[in-house]
Each structure stands twice: as structure tokens, then as C-alpha cells.
Amino acid sequence: MKAISLNISHANYVAVEERTYFLKRHAYSTQLLPTKCPHRGGPLHMGEVTGDGQSVICPWHDNAYRVCNLEKSALPTVRVRNRISTVVGDTERCVPLLKISRYDG
């Protein structure tokens, strides 16, 4: 496994091979959640996060997905100040991307 680190002030989206993940922060938690909606592959990174931070609403069909369920497909993360670290497979290509999502909190 290899570790990567992102400065969350500059990037909130990461591509690992063909899969993409967006940074979701709320209160004391930070996750790299999958961008594809489980229903029809919609862009979850463009969706709304509920006020309590417990769900993400897909902009395509207004389906709400609990963050605890999305975390099952998320990348494991550790946050220290403005840096977030995660691990990916040794052979996986990982590219941090600039802030592009609607939700950058």
C-alpha cells in the first residue's frame, strides 16, 4: 500500500484509477466519499449535504444517501490540520484534483 497526502485548501477531489472521491467535511469528521451515486451513478460531489451532515442528496433524483453507508466505499482517511492522508494500492495511480465540486466544506 502507498500513502498519499492532500492539502485540503487546494484539492477536495481525488481520482484513484477510474474511481473518483470527493472530500466531505462536517464538524469533527472528514471523509473521501465516492462521487458516483449508488442509484444511477449521479454526481454526488455536486449534491447537497443535509444540515446535520448525515446524508448527501444526489442532484439527479433527489435520493438521500446516509454518509455512514457511503463510507463503506470511501477511502480511509486521517486528517491533521489542512492535510488529509489516505492509502491506495501500490500499483494504483492516484491524482489529487483542484476544488471542483459544489460542496467544498
Please give the radius of gyration of the chain, using alpha carbons only, rounded to the nearest integer.
13
Look at the chain and count its residues. Answer: 105
Under the banding of pLDDT at 50, 70 and 90, the label for residue 8 is: confident
In the predicted structure, residue 69 carries a pLDDT above the cut 90: yes
Are the C-beta atoms of 50 and 28 separated by less than 8 Å? no
Note the pLDDT of residue 104.
46
Are the C-beta atoms of 26 and 49 separated by less than 8 Å? yes
Note the pLDDT of residue 56.
92
Under the banding of pLDDT at 50, 70 and 90, the label for residue 99 is: low
Q: What is the DSSP letter of 76?
A: P
**Quick one: which of 28, 39, 44, 30 has its CA closest to 75?**
30
Under the banding of pLDDT at 50, 70 and 90, the label for residue 37 is: very high
Under the banding of pLDDT at 50, 70 and 90, the label for residue 34 is: very high
